């Protein structure tokens, strides 16, 4: 979570960025290291870093993301953060910020619960855990990605949204974790941001490879015009390495194969180099990140071998299935 202070002159921390890290597992050693990081960063621009160790016990039994329940902690941000914080920016960890975030903080939320970037709409239905009917998303209504959200914490508290979120999770079997929850409980109270504020890295890759980007996939669409989306692609503010399509910057570029984006070749994009340039110059943590990069590079060929083998096996299985389907049709036809 990121808080930008300034303006009114009443805040003792006016004119600085304040980072709030929510986690279910952070060592006291790393908490101290974050304080050292804050001091070093403050030499460039004033900032503070606060860490919160939060229990995830109440999320036990819900679908995990990367074998963890921490994705649900953002639902509790309004009660975890100090009550005098009325607005904050939630950021996923798999992003690359390419701009000055003060522009985003100037967004007028217009009384909405939050602002976010539209994702492909959905018509999926969430089964009920109780005797209630399943929850069905409206395929004609916007659906938002929860990886970057400007949150109206005052309204979140006033409307008891945390309780509503937890009740929703208890009632329905979510597919996209807290993202489904937020879209359901905050429906009609989400301001649509320009796509530049949460642009999937795979779109940037597609543009670089001159692949067509279709905002309308059958019945599914993004809530933007082609012109708005193309403009965002030219100058993204935040790139998001979301999903399993592209590797995270801290993963091997050989770890994902998704034709036609990269066919059977390494999944390279210039933004990954930019991410590492920043990471390797991060005070206090640079040595750890250098070691991680070297480890990734040492294991690249083995990673590529494993990924390629898996992809080829999936391709073979696909064609074998199609051949079997054709043989079944011919067999049935010949015996009728």
Question: What are the backbone dihedrals phi and psi of residue 277, each rounded to the nearest 5 degrees, phi first?
Answer: -60, -40
What is the Cα–Cα distance from 202 to 299, expressed in whole angstroms?
A: 24
**Predicted local confidence at residue 130, as pLDDT:** 92
**More confident: 322 or 95:** 95
What mean pLDDT comes out for the span 250-256? 92
**Predicted local confidence at residue 7, as pLDDT:** 40
Q: What is the 3-state secondary structure (H, E, C) of 203-269?
A: HHHHHHCCCCCCCEECCEECCCCHHHHHHHHHCCCEEECCCCCCCCCCCCCCCCCCCCCCCCCCCCC
Bridge partner residues of 2 (DSSP)? 19, 89
**Predicted local confidence at residue 186, as pLDDT:** 97
Using pLDDT thresholds of 50, 70 and 90, give the confidence band for residue 9: very low
What mean pLDDT comes out for the span 238-244? 91
Q: What is the 8-class DSSP label of residue 128?
A: B
**Predicted local confidence at residue 219, as pLDDT:** 60
pLDDT at 105 over 90: yes
pLDDT at 79 over 60: yes
Please report which helix (H) or strand (E) contains residue 91, including its range. Answer: strand 87-91
Question: What are the tokens at 58?
Answer: 């109440």
pLDDT at 282 over 80: yes
User: Pairing mode, if any, of strands 114-119 and 143-152?
Assistant: antiparallel
- How large a percentage of the chain has pLDDT more than 90? 64
Of 205-219, 240-254, 320-334, the range with the lowest mean pLDDT is 205-219
pLDDT at 98 over 60: yes
Using pLDDT thresholds of 50, 70 and 90, give the confidence band for residue 333: confident
Please report which helix (H) or strand (E) contains residue 201, including its range. Answer: helix 201-208
DSSP secondary structure letters along 4-69: E--SSS--TTTT-EEEEEEES---HHHHHHHHHHHHHHTTTS-EEEEEEE---GGGTTSPPBTTBS
Cβ atoms of residues 178 and 97 within 8 Å: no
Of 93-107, 134-148, 191-205, 246-260, the range with the lowest mean pLDDT is 246-260
Residues 186-220 have pLDDT tens digits of: 999 999 999 999 999 988 888 777 776 666 665 66
Cβ atoms of residues 179 and 145 within 8 Å: yes
Cβ atoms of residues 204 and 273 within 8 Å: no
**Predicted local confidence at residue 11, as pLDDT:** 41
- How large a percentage of the chain has pLDDT more than 70? 94
């Amino acid at each position: 979570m990121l808080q930008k202070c300034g303006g009114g002159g009443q805040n003792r921390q006016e004119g600085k960025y304040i980072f709030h890290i929510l986690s279910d597992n952070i060592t006291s050693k790393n908490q101290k290291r974050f304080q050292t990081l804050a001091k070093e960063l403050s030499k460039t621009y004033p900032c503070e870093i606060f860490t919160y160790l939060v229990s995830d016990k109440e999320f036990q039994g819900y679908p995990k993301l990367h074998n963890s329940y921490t994705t649900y902690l953002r639902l509790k941000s309004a009660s975890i953060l100090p009550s005098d914080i009325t607005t904050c920016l939630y950021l996923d960890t798999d992003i690359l910020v390419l701009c000055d975030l003060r522009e985003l903080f100037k967004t007028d939320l217009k009384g909405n619960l939050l602002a976010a970037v539209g994702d492909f709409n959905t018509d999926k239905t969430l089964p009920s855990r109780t005797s209630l009917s399943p929850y069905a998303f409206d395929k004609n209504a916007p659906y938002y990605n929860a990886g970057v959200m400007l949150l109206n914490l005052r309204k979140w508290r006033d409307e008891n949204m945390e309780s509503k979120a937890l009740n929703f999770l208890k009632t329905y079997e979510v597919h996209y974790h807290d993202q489904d929850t937020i879209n359901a409980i905050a429906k009609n109270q989400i301001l649509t941001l320009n796509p530049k504020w949460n642009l999937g890295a795979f779109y940037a890759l597609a543009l670089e490879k001159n692949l067509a980007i279709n905002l309308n996939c059958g019945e599914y669409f993004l809530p933007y015009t082609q012109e708005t989306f193309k403009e965002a692609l030219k100058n993204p503010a935040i790139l998001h390495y979301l999903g399993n399509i592209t590797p995270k910057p801290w993963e091997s570029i050989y770890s994902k194969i998704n034709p036609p984006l990269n066919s059977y070749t390494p999944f390279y994009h210039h933004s990954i180099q930019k991410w590492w340039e920043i990471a390797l110059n991060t005070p206090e943590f640079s040595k750890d990140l250098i070691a991680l990069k070297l480890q990734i590079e040492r294991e690249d060929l083995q990673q590529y071998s494993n990924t390629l083998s898996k992809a080829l096996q999936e391709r073979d299985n696909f064609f074998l299935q199609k051949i079997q389907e054709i043989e079944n049709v011919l067999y049935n036809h010949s015996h009728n």
